[in-house]
Structure 1
């Protein structure tokens, strides 16, 4: 059946396409600017004014400086560890918690759900959080960046809602075949909600990849620093150098740090951006399934 659109609908659709196109360019330009700036010659880049649409004098010196910095490689390895181990623990605990809260026969389900939702709106604050982590002996430990954020409340609710929509007949059939709760969760429920699981994996991975504040508070040994904390140091060093540079060597150092900032941002952002295309097909479906209760 051919659907005919009125002139008003055609104009409205055209307006939407143009508006979304302009917004996409506005949102994309900062990424393009950083990418082109990282490939530019620092002396030419600092003299450039206006919109940057191509590298100003192609140069890879910034990336050579990034990879020659031992802190970058060390930070990369630490961040990969936090992402892999942290996300695995996140998925395990979140899926188990969501399974419990989604069981209609569990009589404490509503009370526990209210308690979980309460933590979304109220917290003890930074000082009690710090004292709790230190009291459990996690200070200056890698686990300080993993265990305190083992379950995200929003992700738990999304997964719980998704599991609650699974037909009860699947669970009953599994119990008849002799499956226990762990078998039902890992062999029935998780494969069924794989779209939601993919979205939750993305959320947790991005959370760990971008995390720096907890590391700044709880870690003292630089060998445990994540990449983002080293990036923060570089950005702050570059900002201070820009302010204090007066001439000669200081100006050269400021230019070098300015280029180093752009290159480090690209190096630290590119890996997580490459994950999105592989999970994009699950993103909208997973969020809708986990957020809307029919």
Structure 2
């Protein structure tokens, strides 16, 4: 049976659709401009002829970036940070969320209160830098992984999801002689796949886009991740970041703006490729992990 909708509900939906379309356009225009500029000729970029479509189509900018060893070195450092950091994040999140999802755990409320406290009050920048320096983690990828090894917000999502798993499954596993660790990895982790995929995406994107951490803790060019490389290339147009080519060579091959745009596009591609494969699990996990029964 088709439910008749009131004029107010129709108007509400129309306003929402209009606002969402405007938001999509506002997001899409800068992206299209960057892609168009990366595929345009030097003359078109210099004379500001590029808007949403390439002018004087060429791939010189991409060819320059692909041959840039400095870019790929930063890219590899970022890949290491994302893989290692996300693995540590997920292990700690699951191992912490499982016991805290049990109402019978002694001191559970106090522990949760302490964790929630860190969501509201975070360590200032200077004391955090002093701590990282005193631990000897400056110019190390661990300075970008250890401080954010466990996200309180993501842990709360995981706890909420794990509460929806029937307790009878745990009891049956204990009767069969399974230890708590085996229950976590054989039952809890597989059943929590939707929220796990969601958290993996959260953590991975966070590591990929991390800019402030490398800016504070990394001074060695050999260890600079992709976001720090982009910062130096865009804000300073550092010649070492550009691959060490001379100004004359750059002016005849590519423009600084075109090189920057091509680098941004290539640096964004991995996240764009991964997201469609995780979208279904991401939406399901975000909904289930945010609703408390």
Tell me if both proteins adopt one fold, taking TM over 0.5 as the criterion: yes
Aligned partners of 1:103 and 1:265: how far apart in 2? 45
Q: Deviations over 1:18-61 (max 9, x none)?
A: 33223212211111111111101122123235x82210110111
| Alignment map for 1:122-161 (pairs within 5 Å) | 122-161=121-160
- Look up the match of 1:35: 35
Q: CA deviation at 1:4?
A: 3.2
Q: CA deviation at 1:185?
A: 1.0
Aligned partners of 2:204 and 2:76: how far apart in 1? 15
CA distance 1:14–1:216, shift in 2 (3 Å)? closer
- Look up the match of 1:72: 71
- Look up the match of 2:232: 233
RMSD between aligned residues: 2.3
Unmatched 5+ stretches in structure 2: 239-246
SS in structure 2 at match of 1:57 = coil
CA contact (8 A) 1:237 1:257 kept: no
CA contact (8 A) 1:158 1:290 kept: yes
CA distance 1:41–1:161, shift in 2 (3 Å)? same
Aligned partners of 2:118 and 2:181: how far apart in 1? 27
Q: CA deviation at 1:249?
A: 6.0
CA contact (8 A) 1:238 1:258 kept: no
- Look up the match of 1:121: 120
Compute the TM-score of the two structures, normalised by the length of structure 2: 0.90
- Look up the match of 1:20: 20
Compute the TM-score of the two structures, normalised by the length of structure 1: 0.90
Q: Give the number of equivalent residue pairs.
A: 286
SS in structure 2 at match of 1:149 = coil
CA contact (8 A) 2:74 2:225 kept: yes
Q: CA deviation at 1:121?
A: 1.1
Q: Deviations over 1:70-110 (max 9, x none)?
A: 11010111111111111001100111111121121211111
CA contact (8 A) 2:198 2:282 kept: yes
Aligned partners of 1:230 and 1:183: how far apart in 2? 42
CA contact (8 A) 2:29 2:52 kept: no
- Look up the match of 2:280: 281
- Look up the match of 1:245: none
Unmatched 5+ stretches in structure 1: 240-247
| Alignment map for 1:185-224 (pairs within 5 Å) | 185-224=184-223
- Look up the match of 1:243: none
